[in-house]
A and B are shown apart, each in its own frame.
Chain A
Amino acid sequence: AQTVTQSQPEMSVQEAETVTLSCTYDTSENNYYLFWYKQPPSRQMILVIRQEAYKQQNATENRFSVNFQKAAKSFSLKISDSQLGDTAMYFCALGRGSRGGSQGNLIFGKGTKLSVKP
């Protein structure tokens, strides 16, 4: 069975500082994808960053980067220069790979509530 664990239910960070959210996962698949989604109070899930398991290079999207440790099955998200608009729930998700990419049945962690303080 595939599982995703986020061990930090809540975190806070001062504006402009850096914060790291943790995620560990378990899967027996060789081909899989990992995602971080952000859910602000508006409820819409917004894709922050994705990582293909077969790529060793860590994904980066502007202020967001990941530390992907495949052997340890760890996938942490680093947010640099935190902004007030980063306040949201953050979900780590695992997708099983198929020929074209991940399948639609994503497995989500329980989430980390991040508060950015002015």
Chain B
Amino acid sequence: KAGVTQTPRYLIKTRGQQVTLSCSPISGHRSVSWYQQTPGQGLQFLFEYFSETQRNKGNFPGRFSGRQFSNSRSEMNVSTLELGDSALYLCASSLEVGRTGGYTFGSGTRLTVV
């Protein structure tokens, strides 16, 4: 079966713009988590959605937001982009929040802010 699909793979944006990233989980998975990966800070948790509701949230400013649709697909949005938002954004899906089987990650979206 298909894995976690993230689009686009690469994105270049200008400072001050906004961006929307998409994540399609594995079929049947209802939980989607988002992470930001940078060389300096490593992997940091952004938020998790389950059944269209945000269940957990990391320590990021309000410029970072997300949502989940009824088909479990998720989007994250970053408004008023800053140079420091350049990162690899990874999403992960799971059958449900708290599933011990672990989380399946996508290949990420590489965002570059210039």
- Same complex for A and B? Answer yes
B27 is an interface residue with CB less than 8 A from chain A: no
Q: Per-residue 0/1 for A84-107: is the Cβ within 8 Å of any B Cβ (1 yes, 0 no)?
A: 000000010100011111111111
B55 is an interface residue with CB less than 8 A from chain A: yes
A30 is an interface residue with CB less than 8 A from chain B: no
Contact pick for B42, options A50, A100, A101, A108, CB 8 Å: A108
Q: Which residues of A26-74 have CB atoms within 8 Å of chain B's CB atoms?
A: 33, 35, 37, 42-47, 50, 52
B100 engages A98 (CB within 8 Å)? no
B105 engages A44 (CB within 8 Å)? yes
B108 engages A43 (CB within 8 Å)? yes
A105 engages B56 (CB within 8 Å)? yes
B55 engages A47 (CB within 8 Å)? no
* Chain B residues whose C-beta falls within 8 Å of the C-beta of A35 in the assembled complex: 102
- How many residues of chain B have a CB within 8 Å of chain A? 30
B90 is an interface residue with CB less than 8 A from chain A: yes
B100 engages A33 (CB within 8 Å)? yes
Contact pick for A98, options B42, B43, B58, B97, CB 8 Å: B97
A105 engages B33 (CB within 8 Å)? yes
User: CA A52 – CA B107 in complex, angstroms?
Assistant: 26
* Chain B residues whose C-beta falls within 8 Å of the C-beta of A102 in the assembled complex: 98-100
Contact pick for A101, options B55, B56, B99, CB 8 Å: B99
B102 engages A50 (CB within 8 Å)? yes
User: CA A46 – CA B3 in complex, angstroms?
Assistant: 11
* Chain A residues whose C-beta falls within 8 Å of the C-beta of B3 in the assembled complex: 44
A101 engages B100 (CB within 8 Å)? yes
* Chain A residues whose C-beta falls within 8 Å of the C-beta of B23 in the assembled complex: none
Known contacts A43-B88, A44-B107, A91-B43: A103-B100 contact under CB 8 Å? no
Known contacts A102-B98, A103-B48, A106-B103: A44-B108 contact under CB 8 Å? yes
A105 engages B58 (CB within 8 Å)? yes
User: CA A44 – CA B97 in complex, angstroms?
Assistant: 21
Known contacts A33-B100, A47-B104: A104-B92 contact under CB 8 Å? yes
Residues of A whose CB lies within 8 Å of any CB of B are 33, 35, 37, 42-47, 50, 52, 91, 93, 97-111
Residues of B whose CB lies within 8 Å of any CB of A are 3, 31, 33, 35, 42-45, 48, 55-56, 58, 88, 90, 92, 94, 96-108, 110
